[in-house]
Amino acid sequence: MNDFNSKTAVVTGAASGIGLSIAKKLAEEGMQVVLSDIDKVSLEESVKKLKQNKYNVTGITANVLDKNSVELLFESSVERYGNIHILCNNAGITSDPGGKAIWEIEKQDWDWIMGVNFYGVLYGLQAFVPHMIEHGENGHIVNTASLVGLLPISRDPYGISKNSTIALTEYLSLDLIQRNANIGASVLCPGFTNTNLAKSENNRPKDLKLNNTIHNGDTEWDELDTFLKQGKDPKEIAETVYEGIKENIFYIFTHPAWDNNIRIYLEGILSRGESPYSLMNQWDNFLTPREDGEQY
Residues 17-58 pLDDT 10s: 999 999 999 999 999 999 999 999 999 999 999 999 999 999
Q: How far is the CA of 146 from the CAs of 85, 153, 166, in angstroms?
A: 23, 11, 8
Range(s) for CATH 3.40.50.720 in the chain?
8-254
Instruction: Quote the pLDDT of residue 280.
Output: 53
In a 3-state reduction of DSSP, which class is residue 141?
strand
Instruction: Quote the pLDDT of residue 275.
Output: 62
Reported confidence tier of residue 16, pLDDT bands at 50, 70, 90: very high
Distance CA 93, CA 117 (A): 7
Instruction: Quote the pLDDT of residue 231.
Output: 81
Distance CA 143, CA 168 (A): 9
Reported confidence tier of residue 173, pLDDT bands at 50, 70, 90: very high
Instruction: Quote the pLDDT of residue 200.
Output: 84
The mean-pLDDT minimum among 21-35, 53-67, 188-202 falls in 188-202
Instruction: Quote the pLDDT of residue 90.
Output: 98
In a 3-state reduction of DSSP, which class is residue 72?
helix
Reported confidence tier of residue 216, pLDDT bands at 50, 70, 90: very low
Distance CA 285, CA 230 (A): 13
Question: Which class does domain 8-254 fall in?
Answer: alpha beta
Query: How many CA atoms lie within 13 Å of 43's alpha carbon, on the beta-carbon side?
Result: 20
Q: How far is the CA of 240 from the CAs of 21, 25, 130, 155, 246, in angstroms?
A: 11, 10, 27, 28, 10
* Higher pLDDT among residues 260 and 178, named by residue: 178
Q: Cα 228 from chain centroid?
A: 15
* Higher pLDDT among residues 242 and 219, named by residue: 242
Question: Taking 70 as the threshold, does the pLDDT of residue 283 lie above it?
Answer: no
Instruction: Quote the pLDDT of residue 196.
Output: 82
Sign of CA dihedral 286, 288, 291, 292: positive
The whole-number average pLDDT for the span 133-157 is 92
The whole-number average pLDDT for the span 124-147 is 97
Instruction: Quote the pLDDT of residue 64.
Output: 98
